[in-house]
Structure 1
Amino acid sequence: MTATSDFIQTRSPVLFIIFNRPDTTAQVFNQIKKAKPKRLYIAGDGARNERPGETQLCEAARNVVNEIDWECDVKTRFQDVNLGCKDGVSTAISWFFEHEEEGIILEDDCLPADSFFSFCDNLLEKYRYDTRVRHITGCNLQQGKKWGDASYYFSNITHVWGWAGWRRVWKDYDKDLKRFDESSLRYEIGKIFQDSFILDSLEQIFKELKAGKIDTWDYQLGFLNYLNNGLCIIPNVNLISNLGFGTGSTHTVNTDSPYANLPVGSLTKIVHPRYFLPEKQADLFTLSHDFNIEERERRHNLLRRKVKRWVKEKLMTNE
């Protein structure tokens, strides 16, 4: 058991990734300000020329630097041109890990609980050299369900709404997944998930990533975790609230999503799991929601019954 405090100064360096939302940037920064990291990295993508007023919004978000009022080594990386979600975020993280062996990564719409920082501090240290663990996340999408009696559980899924990690993992990051091919993916991922609808969905995402049809950086990190048989640490209470759902978002546009603005909890002490195994049912719960598995199975079974009934009617007609 490890004691934590909500308001202790974080030991870990922090990367803060911002863009064009000065309002959410300010909210997240206020939490960083309470944690007072001794080393703070701020990265901002450039404005898109086709978006009127975005230059001013990016500049307003970058003014957060002026609010640093504690002793802190600050590094900034502000782009003059827009790199997009995939290159903008992944190059910022690479820049961070060029300077740091480990640390905390927050985007401008991921509002952390006070205890998120001490949670990351403790687990970054505990699993620093344990290559079974590749990722620590602050967000819990289990809608109140807890897995075991520890403060966190192990997962095969990599969540990136507020996370912490190590250079030892990021050095393998491959934004174009060049080392892997489609022919073996389903077989390899099938060693983790057996549901055909989940495999269909992951296979389709993989193909679209390889074809450059999805402008994102995070699915790649997830696939690298799957294909390296890695584990992600997920707290048993949610420590991150995503403020980014809405029309101004690139991907999280549905304000009715059950993941939008989730309330955060607190961890005042950390109890470690007894067993080093992923919670498969927790992962299935998340993926079933993300890929709409229940509805797809319902439609599939309905179609199968219709086909079976049609075949039976045809056989009876031909008798």
Structure 2
Amino acid sequence: MPAPIVLFAYKRASELQRTVTALQANYLADQSELYVFVDGPRPGRADELAKVDAVRAVLDNLTGFRRIHRLYREQNMGCANSIIAGVTAVLQTHPSVIVLEDDIVTSRNFLDYMNQCLERYADTPTVFSIGGYTFPFPRPQGYESDVYFFGRTCAWGWGIWADRWEQVDWALRDFDTFITDESACKAFNANGQDRVRMLKRAYTKEIDAWDIRLCYSEFKWGGVTVYPTISKTINIGIDSVDSTTEVVYNRYKTVLDNSLPRRLQLPADVSVNPAYARRFRRKFSVPVRMWNKLKTFLLASRLAIGKRAGVGKPVEQ
């Protein structure tokens, strides 16, 4: 039986419709159980009531899965608390889960990929989680596998086992010890120079983030995440009207898998490929992040000028 799918939604009916339409088209959709969690509107935000109702309407009419469980929250839990509580609840009765949010469009073989990886690496302790998204990295010469490994979790379509999830310390009880340990911070930042800063912001509740805490737990576990060599997901919510931030330069653009192989080549040897690791680290290095911020600033300036002149959004370069 395929692993259950856990889908989180809030107030983006348009993005959600695209997400569930793509998910319905997956080869294993009609064999899979779907758990849907919809967060409630925030207190004092009457403008969100209609948006949340529109999301519920999309899900009320949803079909195409073996069984659908719906939980519509009356009160707002927030993104992080909603995801943590929902995944925890489903993993109480299932050994593994596949998780999506309402702005993730999947390839038709996404569920095949996730289920094969969850089965293949269930008893491989070094594999902490499965990721569905990847940057459009060129395949290294002679590389034959359909996946690669890297020590950073993925939030855009992912899977995990109950025994790994149970190890996560969501309260970050050792944060004070960690943040004063220079060598530990350096090691954590080795797979992305943004990670220590994000963890600190999550600890101080400056950001409502669950994913960096999961990433930190993988680091302490000494594990890696499985990534596809061709992305099985794309994020359509980065520049959504209801996104928390307006993004005018999307550095996460990728190519969704359209070759659609259903049986994937998954290696027994769980080792980090140097070429993939080098490219992945570079994406989150200080120079590249600074360059991306500059692009964002320049595109935002062009957008502002275009609005004043009555011109539409500038094309990303």
TM class by shorter chain equals 0.7 to 0.9
1:173 corresponds to: 168
**3-state SS of the aligned residue for 1:36?**
helix
**3-state SS of the aligned residue for 1:188?**
helix
Q: Which has the larger radius of gyration?
A: 1
C-alpha displacement of 1:241: 1.0
Q: Distance in 1 between matches of 2:171 and 2:102?
A: 24
Q: Distance in 2 between matches of 1:79 and 1:68?
A: 18
Letter aligned with residue 222 of structure 2 = N
Letter aligned with residue 69 of structure 1 = T
C-alpha displacement of 1:165: 1.3
Q: Distance in 1 between matches of 2:281 and 2:153?
A: 12
Q: Distance in 2 between matches of 1:23 and 1:194?
A: 37
Q: 1:295 to 1:229 in 2, by over 3 A?
A: closer
Runs of 4+ in 1 over 6 A off after TM superposition: none
Which of residues 129, 132, 151 in structure 1 aligns to 2:146?
A: 151
Alignment of 1:226-237 (within 5 A): 226-237=219-230
C-alpha displacement of 1:160: 1.2
Which of residues 24, 29, 32 in structure 1 aligns to 2:20?
A: 29
1:204 corresponds to: 197
C-alpha displacement of 1:15: 0.6
Q: 1:217 to 1:280 in 2, by over 3 A?
A: farther
Contact 2:12 2:242 in 1 (8 A): no
Q: Distance in 2 between matches of 1:243 and 1:67?
A: 22
What's the TM-score once normalised by structure 1's chain length?
Answer: 0.80
2:217 corresponds to: 224
| Higher alpha-carbon deviation: 233-242 or 34-43 | 34-43
**3-state SS of the aligned residue for 2:92?**
helix
**3-state SS of the aligned residue for 1:208?**
helix
Q: Distance in 1 between matches of 2:235 and 2:290?
A: 27
Q: 1:43 to 1:71 in 2, by over 3 A?
A: closer
Contact 1:244 1:252 in 2 (8 A): no
Which of residues 235, 246, 252 in structure 2 aligns to 1:259?
A: 252
Q: 1:47 to 1:295 in 2, by over 3 A?
A: closer
**3-state SS of the aligned residue for 1:32?**
helix
Q: Distance in 2 between matches of 1:125 and 1:12?
A: 9
Letter aligned with residue 15 of structure 2 = T
Aligned length: 284
**3-state SS of the aligned residue for 2:34?**
strand
Contact 1:245 1:260 in 2 (8 A): no
Matched, 1:285 2:276: no
Identity percentage over the alignment? 19
C-alpha displacement of 1:137: 0.9
Contact 2:35 2:69 in 1 (8 A): yes
Q: 1:149 to 1:189 in 2, by over 3 A?
A: farther
Contact 1:186 1:203 in 2 (8 A): no
Letter aligned with residue 128 of structure 1 = A
What's the TM-score once normalised by structure 2's chain length?
Answer: 0.80
Unaligned runs of 5+ in 2: 292-317
Q: In the TM superposition, what whole-angstrom CA distance separates every residue of 1:173-218 from its partner, at most 9, and x where no partner exists?
A: 22221134334554235446659xx55x332222222222121111
Letter aligned with residue 155 of structure 1 = F
Cα RMSD for the two superposed structures? 2.6
**3-state SS of the aligned residue for 2:279?**
helix
Which of residues 3, 20, 37 in structure 2 aligns to 1:43?
A: 37
1:307 corresponds to: none
Q: 1:84 to 1:179 in 2, by over 3 A?
A: same
Q: 1:173 to 1:76 in 2, by over 3 A?
A: farther
Q: Distance in 1 between matches of 2:137 and 2:157?
A: 19
Q: Distance in 1 between matches of 2:280 and 2:63?
A: 40
1:122 corresponds to: 116
Unaligned runs of 5+ in 1: 1-9, 298-319
| Higher alpha-carbon deviation: 259-268 or 127-136 | 259-268
Q: Distance in 1 between matches of 2:110 and 2:223?
A: 22
C-alpha displacement of 1:249: 4.6
C-alpha displacement of 1:274: 6.0
| Higher alpha-carbon deviation: 250-259 or 51-60 | 250-259
